[in-house]
Structure 1
Amino acid sequence: MNFSVVIPLYNKLHYVRSAVRSVLAQTIAPLEVIVVDDGSTDGSAEAVASMGDPRVRLVRQPNAGVSAARNRGIELARGDWVAFLDADDWYHPEMLAALAQAHQACPDADMLGAGFRTIPPAFGADPEAWPVAESFYEVEVVDDLRVRWMKTAPFCTSSVAIRTDLLRRIQPCFVTGEHHGEDLDLWFRVGDMARVAVVNAPFAAVRVLPDSLSTRNARHTMPAFLQRMQQRALSGEIPAKHRRSALWFVGQMHVTLARDALDAGDRKLALRWLAGGRRVALTRRWALTALMALFMPTHVAGSWQRWRLRSAEAFSPEGPSQ
């Protein structure tokens, strides 16, 4: 198997060379690295061009957003698989080998993933590769990606690969003009039609900004990808075996949005989100959030929510059958 790695780029001068270097340093060499510059103005594209490796293909386009950049990369890919990497993230040297291992364990899977870890921004510096003690890791075949996602995210945008021919059949893969959930939208659509195999070990590094809970804003509208998911489930477009979990997933996202509203001190908005998530009203997570919204003083609820997020409490909502 061979990989085309697609990197959408917009004003990531401090990071993009590190990202490209991490792909070129793979123990399983990529067929190509396609960097789609989406109208950068900070010299990012010039930095990539100066790297001078023939495997790196730099493509420039007027600014049209990350979805358009990724779709362009998919159109140009020559490999059997398209792997994605954000321009400020980084591959462990064994990333592509880990994806190949997932393919070996489940040859009929059309989407492969691996775990990831978060790292500080660190301008320009390449992270140190963390130890890989085992030659083989557990490969999990995921039957229902939404249920699995609500336990923990098994992969991220920078640790996933999908068969190129499948992506070409559903182009445009990423919905243009969206910057929230456009990647989840694709993963779940692919998961509805294909098998997913995941290596349960971290092989990508995701750079994150410092905690900004104090600036968290409550969302007043449902993200577009969740609206589409609900519509597709209700219309029967989602396969029957996944419709129940799709509606359950949307309901759980209502609960998440209600908790964000409580964190922002907006009790009325939290209750509105909970009403919209009534399909999961019998779950412990919905009930606990409702009690907080109805009876707990807002400043206490917000403090509790901030503590929960800071302590990285893993919510494990009940499955769609409950």
Structure 2
Amino acid sequence: MRFSVVIPLYNKARFVQSGVQSVLAQTLPPHEVIVIDDGSTDGGADALAHVTDPRVRIVRQDNAGVSATRNRGIAMATGDWVAFLDADDAYHPEFLAALARAHAACPEADVLATRHRTVYEPTGLPLEPWAVPEPFCEVELVEDLRLRWMKNTPLCSSSVAVRKARLMQMTTWFVEGESYGEDLDMWFRLGDQAPVAVVNGCYATVRASVPGSLSSFGCRQVPPPFVLRMREQALDGTIPSRYHDSALWFVAQYHITLAREALAAGDRKRALQRLIEARYCSWSVRWQLTALMALFMPGSWAAKWQSWRVRSADSFAQEPV
């Protein structure tokens, strides 16, 4: 298997060397590593000036956003599979080998992925290889990615690879001009077309709390464009009918999350508005519990509840360094 690894780089000079080295250290060597410097102002590409490995290609461009940057990497890739790695993240040495195992177990899958862990390490120091617990390393074939996502997060942008032939059949890759949720939009659209094979072991590391990180965001007041599109596409038949219910359910659950975040911020009116938008699942325990919180729970209690819930949901993936 020939993996092309695409690394979008924007103002991550102190991290990108560690990320690139984690790709070059793979036990299953990558076919190529494409680093696209999206108009960095911190000399990001210069941090790789000493890298002489011929598999590493460094491209500079004017700032165009993460979606356009990933799309350019896809267009340049010459491998059979295109993997992605954010510049401040890293692969376990066995990451690509784990994807190869997933392909062997589920050859019909056009998306291969592993679970990931989250660390709090903002200095850019190389991450030492971490132990992967063997009991969690079975390969899972995911037929409905949205339904699976609501159980727990099975993959992220730094733990996934897509068959190049499948990408070439798509009319739209990452939606350009969007920088939050553009990756989820891509994975769900791919999941609508073909199964996803996930290795249930953490073979990628995501750095949290890095300034400017693609995965960091504050309290959201409105759903991102991909959620609004998902609802429209479920209703107009763009999304295959077998995924209609799970798509609308995912959208409703997203609105419930926004309602809880609004409560944590002390905005009951906005929380109730979001619950109305989530009325598709108003019979669910999660919706009804959130409604009770919005109507009766003091704001400070709601904030503590939301903080505890997020920590509990992420406990599998998070690991302090």
TM-score of the superposed pair, with normalisation by structure 2: 0.93
Q: State the shift of 1:262 in Å.
A: 0.5
**Using the alignment, how far apart are the partners of 2:271 and 2:165 within structure 1?**
42
Q: Distance in 2 between matches of 1:65 and 1:20?
A: 20
Could you list the per-position Cα deviations for residues 190-220 of structure 1 after superposition, in whole angstroms to 9, with x for gaps in the alignment? 0000111000000001000189xxx985433
SS at match of 1:124: coil
1:296 aligns with 2:297: yes
Equivalent residue runs for 1:105-254 within 5 Å: 105-132=105-132, 134=134, 137-209=137-209, 218-254=219-255
Query: Structure 2 CA distance, aligned partners of 1:270 and 1:136?
Result: 37
Give 2:271's aligned residue: 270
Residues 298/202 of structure 1: CA separation in 2 closer, same or farther (3 Å cut): same
* Structure 1 ranges of 4+ moved more than 6 A: none
How far 1:56 moved relative to its partner? Answer: 0.2
Residues 249-288 of structure 1: per-residue CA shift (max 9 Å, x gap): 0000010000010010100000000000000111111110
CA contact (8 A) 2:255 2:277 kept: yes
In the other structure, the counterpart of 2:70 is 70
CA RMSD of aligned residues (A): 1.9
- Cα deviation for residue 166 of structure 1 reads 1.2
Is 1:9 matched with 2:9? yes
Contact (CA 8 Å) 2:281, 2:287: kept in 1 or not? yes
Name the CA distance, whole Å, in 2 between partners of 1:251 and 1:263: 19
Residue 179 of structure 1 deviates from its aligned partner by 1.1
Matches of 2:87 and 2:155 in 1, distance apart?
17
Distance 2:17 2:77 in 1: 20
Deviations along 1:80-113, one digit per CA (max 9) or x if unpaired, are: 0000000000000000000000000000100011
Unaligned runs of 5+ in 1: 315-322
Q: Identity percentage over the alignment? A: 60
- CA distance 1:210–1:52, change in 2 (3 Å): closer
In structure 1, C-alpha distance between the alignment counterparts of 2:75 and 2:56, rounded to whole Å: 16
Partners of 2:133 and 2:280 in 1: CA distance: 44
Q: Kindly tell me: are residues 111 and 122 of structure 1, through their superposed partners in 2, closer, same or farther at Cα, counting changes over 3 Å? A: same
For 1:136 and 1:117, locate their aligned partners in 2 and report how far apart those are by CA, in whole Å.
Answer: 13
Q: 2:314 and 2:283 mapped to 1: Cα distance? A: 21
Equivalent AA in structure 2 for residue 272 of structure 1: Q
Checking the alignment, whether the CA contact within 8 Å between 1:71 and 1:171 is kept in structure 2 is no
> Size of the alignment, in residue pairs?
311
Cα 1:95–1:223 change in 2 (3 A) is same
Structure 1 position 73, deviation (Å): 0.1
